[in-house]
Structure formats: C-alpha cells, structure tokens
Structure 1
Amino acid sequence: MGDFNHPDICWRDNTTGHKESRKFLECVDDSFLLQVIEEPTRRGAMLDLILTNKESLVGDVKLKGSLGCSDHEMVEFRILRAARRACSKLTTLDFRRADFGLFGDLLGRIPWDRALEGRGAQDSWLICKGHLLQAQE
C-alpha cells in the first residue's frame, strides 16, 4: 500500500506510455502482484495503490475523502485471512514430486496461436501466466 506516483498507468489495461512506469508495471507483473484499487485517489489519477499476490486477501476497499490538507484520498480496506488452524502449514511447491510430463501435456493442449492472436506483449504475458498457474494447480 502506498503512493507510487505513476499517474500515466492504465491499470485496467496494464498499459503506459512512459519508460519508468513501464519498468514499474514489469516489476509488478514479474512479482505476480495485482493492484486492487479501482478509483482515482488524487486529482483523477490513481497514485495510491494496494498491491497483493492474491486478490482474495484484500477486501472492502473504499476511498474516504482527504484528511486535513492532503490532496490524496484516504484508502480504507480490510486484510482478509482464513481463520487460524491449530496446526497451520505454509504451502510450498515440491518440485521433486511434480509431474512435469502432465504439466507439459496440459500446456500443450492450449491453442497458443489462437489464445495470443492479436495480443500485445503485456496481454500475452497475463494469458501465459494464467495458464501456467492453472496447470500448476
């Protein structure tokens, strides 16, 4: 959460025209992060962002007006989490037990030419990432 100061980024399309903002977008995508604020937070621009690796971890995002002399909107949100279990475990991938043949087969069934036709690099990456994560499950 914070003021990232990239007013030229279109978060709906993940596009921008400026080099520095493009680097920031690439960093966000390479880190598998999502931006969840949907409304402008300062003078029509979306500067204040909430980045998360799972959309289901953040909820009830609301802009609450400015505080004092600030020209930024206050952002209120809830961090959602499952109830703690007595023996909570951290889930990690065990690559030694992975079925890479099945993984390759699942990815091989995707009609990549059709799935990526007419898409730019950013959209193509998001589509590829989605298929990779789905096959991983």
Structure 2
Amino acid sequence: MLQWGSDQEDQVDETLCRQIGAASHSQALVLMGDFNHPDICWRDNTAGHKQSRRFLECINEHFFLQVVEEPTRRGAMLDLVLTKKQGLEWNVKLKGSLGCSDHEMVEFKILRAVRRAHSKLTVLDFRTADFGLFRDLLGRVLRNKAAEGRGAQGIWLIFKDHLPQPQEQCIPTNRKSGKKIKRPAWKNKKFLDI
C-alpha cells in the first residue's frame, strides 16, 4: 500500500500526468474514471492536498474540462469525465449504484449540432467581369472636375469612395463553399511548414 506523500506515490502521480499529457493531443479524447481526489472543488478550481493540487494542475495544463457536476460517492466527486472538446452538451446523469458498489453510475451522452455551417464567404468573379464598363465608370469619376487640384491623397479618397458602385455593377460575386475553396498558390507546403 502506498503511503500518503511518499516518493513512490509522487512517481505514480507524475506517470499519470505524463500519460494524460501524451493522450491530450487528441481533441476527441474523453477520460473517465474514479480519480480519487475528494478534496478538489471543481467549481472553485482548488484542492487541499498536494497530490490533488498536482492532478488539478495537470488537468488545467492540458486544457481539460471536467463535466460531472454532482457527487458520485458519499458527497464527494470522485468519478470524473474529462474532455478537451468545448461546446458540446454532455447530458450527464447519475443513475444509482451498480451491484454492491458505493459509487454512483455516471451516464452521459455527447450531443453535438448536426447542422453543418455553410460559408457565407463571397468572392469576386473576375472571369465574368465587364472590365470595359468598369474602366468607363471609374474613369468618369476621376475625370470629374471635383478631382482637380486635390493631389494624390484627395484623388485616392474619391477613388476609394466611388469604387464599390462600379464594382457591384460590373464584377459578379460567387458564394464559396468550404469544400471548393482552393489554397492560394503562394500558400504552398514550404510556406505551411515554417
């Protein structure tokens, strides 16, 4: 039997923390079990004993969430469900004990939205643009007497303010779906490996 605070128990705690760290690279990971840390207050994120504080630090270091909210054994929350996936509805319920166990059974369902998000990204379709009309409309703005004597900055402001209307008129837009979006040529493997 391990003694409280012994070197052997510290080694077991460190091994567990390393294993949790190694497993934590998966976003879909769910860890569950009786972790035997009755002094952890999950609401306040505090613990009384050294081993419990170390376990709590390990869980926080690897960005785990604990989703059980009710005591699972004699007023203590020993049986935990830990995950890294935020934004899911867990629907955790305690279901009484199984056989002669003094622990509550923890039942949970992981619910997620089924609806896929559709991209609302629109892009200009330059292949079907009417550049002749576009050039004429912008040329009229720049030839206007209001642009005379304004300098480069003044002409730029006029151009910038008048650009959207000819653009809407001459360059159609397309909605992009997530599957058809191509990576720009400059964003190649060499760039992504940096």
Q: Could you state the TM-score of these two structures normalised by the residue count of structure 2?
A: 0.42
CA distance in 2, matches of 1:50, 1:16: 18
Structure 1 position 17, deviation (Å): 1.4
Q: Does 1:47 align with 2:47?
A: no
CA distance in 2, matches of 1:58, 1:82: 9
How many residues are aligned here?
A: 88
List alignment gaps of at least 5 residues for structure 1.
88-95, 98-137
List alignment gaps of at least 5 residues for structure 2.
1-31, 117-178, 180-190
For 1:79, what is the secondary structure of its paired residue?
A: coil
1:110: which partner in 2? none
Deviations 1:55-87 (A, max 9, x none): 4335110000001100000001012345498x7
2:107: which partner in 1? 76
For 1:6, what is the secondary structure of its paired residue?
A: coil
CA distance in 1, matches of 2:85, 2:48: 27
Counterparts of residues 59-74 of structure 1 (less than 5 Å) = 59-74=90-105
For 1:20, what is the secondary structure of its paired residue?
A: helix
Deviations 1:74-113 (A, max 9, x none): 001012345498x7xxxxxxxx78xxxxxxxxxxxxxxxx
The structure that has the greater radius of gyration is 2
- The one-letter code sitting in structure 2 at the alignment partner of 1:67 is L
Counterparts of residues 31-42 of structure 1 (less than 5 Å) = 31-42=62-73
Q: Does 1:10 align with 2:41?
A: yes
For 1:49, what is the secondary structure of its paired residue?
A: strand
Q: Could you state the TM-score of these two structures normalised by the residue count of structure 1?
A: 0.58
Counterparts of residues 1-137 of structure 1 (less than 5 Å) = 1-83=32-114
- Does the 8 Å contact 1:56/1:80 carry over to 2? no
For 2:74, what is the secondary structure of its paired residue?
A: coil
